[in-house]
Structure 1
Amino acid sequence: MNHDEEETSYLTDFQEILQSEVYVDLERLRILARHGVPSQLRGEVWKYLLGVQQADRSRELSSCKARSEEYDQMDKENSDIAKRIRAEVSRYQRRVPQLEGKENVQVFVNVILAYLNSNHDVEYSASLVALCAPFIHVLDTECDAYFCFEKLMQAMEEHFLNVSLKEQVAQFMTLFRCGLPELYFDDEEVDINEWSTSWLQNLLAKEMRFENLVRLWDSYFAMTDPFAFHPFVCLSILLCVKEALEDLEQSEIRTMLLRLPLLNMEMVIADAYNFRHETIERQMSENGEL
């Protein structure tokens, strides 16, 4: 089977699941989505994976209508924050041509303000633009982009309540030191805290090339606990760019870690599974020796 035939077959597998008349098989959808979702179906698949769209097809029309009505009622006003969002979107669009266009700017403003006005404990930060962007790109409607974005933000909030960011950074540093000791930056000029905090806090939304990010999130949304897997992906990325990093000066290293090059995501994800497997084995043997 050649590459085109494989792609057609893969697309057909997704379409079979999504076109089911009674019930969308979420388990099968998750298994397939871990290997990436065809771009033309990504929006629809993400809605199911994130629980925005229910698997029961008989409730589809009524739930779509209810979502749309709920979103229409939301407050999307705050002129000061709207100005800050527009400025950040303008910077973001220069880096991500997939989201160019004035019409997208207003969608960002509406979605982020609807979220902030519905969650008064959340403060605006520029990272919300990068976290929201994949949904605006892959979903057909502003309403669906909002509800998928909200699902991700809720999951992230829950995760950080259980494990603080400080703890996650400390755990990642340990993982980095054990997994890639030859690359571990002992040099004070490369502040591990700075880039690893952003990598862990924002699921690489700010650092990754956009096409890599949406591919990674296909796998994350298909997992039951993507946050536990995420540090291994971060480690895997460091392995991928290891040779390039070893040739760079300190200031260049920082730049590369905050603006990652194009990566082979299939390899990154496969290596992340290997790192996780090795870490579990190492922990088991250490526990056995105690």
Structure 2
Amino acid sequence: MDPHVGSGKIITAPIITEDGVPINDPLVLLEATAADQQPGSTTTTSNGDESSSSSSSSANHRLTDKHTIEWKLTLHQIGLDVLRTDRSMLFYEKKENLSKLWDILAVYAWIDKEVGYCQGMSDLCSPMIVLLNDEADAFWCFERLMRRLRGNFRCTQQSVGVENQLQHLASIIQVLDPKLHDHLERLGGGDYLFAFRMFMVLFRRELSFGDSLYLWELASMPQKYPGLNFF
């Protein structure tokens, strides 16, 4: 699909334009340094010949498949999000672990043509990388989790993916703590959108790494903890 996937490096800058023209920029690799740049990587010269040749070459390799273009356009965004995911953990001080997270999200974005990649997926995928040594096992665990949660990432101008969960939360709070519910209504928070991120990434950013996984374990046992069904 792309030589960067599985290379042990992370794309952090666009590698393609919205028109499908490749961008030859050495900064697209996280580990790129001046020493790694190949001679002749510049796109302009005093006489302009090199720029013309580069433009002609890019035009010849222009992509036309819409799905491929959309996928390649997300790769650098995945890289930027990966660099912000659980960075307080010593585990992610190793670049190979960061690249595993990037690889899995990049491949998932390719196979899920309808949803692709959305911010927040890195928070859901990170525990798989930490807990499992094998990258393939981590991928399929994440893919299985997304079968249940992918609907959370479907947002339109009319609705948000976690709208049902927000409505369930509002109903629960209205019964358990009507005073709090009325207070939120007066403040204009009766739609409970403040809980959007909580449901989107299953409290990964509200709780510590260990506590969030403990909550996941409880939520996976609805018969024992029915109060977490709306989760």
- Regarding TM over 0.5, the answer is yes
Deviations 1:187-223 (A, max 9, x none): 5276753322222233223332111111122233455
The question of 1:153 aligning with 2:146 is answered yes
Corresponding residue for 1:121?
A: 114
Deviations 1:7-29 (A, max 9, x none): xxxxxxxxxxxxxxxxxxxxxxx
Q: Is the 8 Å Cα contact of residues 116 and 123 (structure 1) preserved in structure 2?
A: yes
Q: Is the 8 Å Cα contact of residues 159 and 227 (structure 1) preserved in structure 2?
A: no
The alignment yields a C-alpha RMSD, in angstroms, of 3.3
Give SS of 1:213's match: helix
Show the 5 A alignment for 1:15-54.
none
**TM-score, normalised by the number of residues in structure 1:** 0.45
Corresponding residue for 1:207?
A: 206
Show the 5 A alignment for 1:1-290.
79-157=72-150, 165-184=162-181, 185-188=184-187, 193-223=192-222, 229-231=228-230
Q: Is the 8 Å Cα contact of residues 98 and 137 (structure 1) preserved in structure 2?
A: yes
Give SS of 2:207's match: coil
CA distance in 2 between counterparts of 1:228 and 1:169 reads: 14
**1:116–1:131 distance in 2 versus 1, CA, 3 Å:** same
**1:150–1:116 distance in 2 versus 1, CA, 3 Å:** same
CA distance in 1 between counterparts of 2:171 and 2:100 reads: 40
Aligned residue-pair number: 154
Q: Is the 8 Å Cα contact of residues 89 and 108 (structure 1) preserved in structure 2?
A: yes
CA distance in 2 between counterparts of 1:111 and 1:199 reads: 23
Percent identical: 22
**1:216–1:100 distance in 2 versus 1, CA, 3 Å:** farther
**TM-score, normalised by the number of residues in structure 2:** 0.55
**1:158–1:89 distance in 2 versus 1, CA, 3 Å:** closer
Q: Is the 8 Å Cα contact of residues 151 and 162 (structure 2) preserved in structure 1?
A: no
Give structure 2 stretches of 5+ with no counterpart.
Answer: 1-67, 155-160
- Deviation, structure 1 residue 86: 1.6
Kindly indicate which of the two structures has a greater share of residues assigned to helix: 1
Structure 1 letter corresponding to 2:108: Y
Larger Rg over CA atoms: 2
CA distance in 1 between counterparts of 2:146 and 2:223 reads: 16
Bigger relative contact order (CA 8 A; separation at least 6): 1
Give structure 1 stretches of 5+ with no counterpart.
Answer: 1-74, 233-290
**1:226–1:110 distance in 2 versus 1, CA, 3 Å:** farther
- Deviation, structure 1 residue 134: 0.9
**1:81–1:160 distance in 2 versus 1, CA, 3 Å:** closer
**1:170–1:118 distance in 2 versus 1, CA, 3 Å:** same
Corresponding residue for 1:249?
A: none
CA distance in 2 between counterparts of 1:198 and 1:86 reads: 20
Give SS of 2:87's match: helix
- Deviation, structure 1 residue 82: 2.4
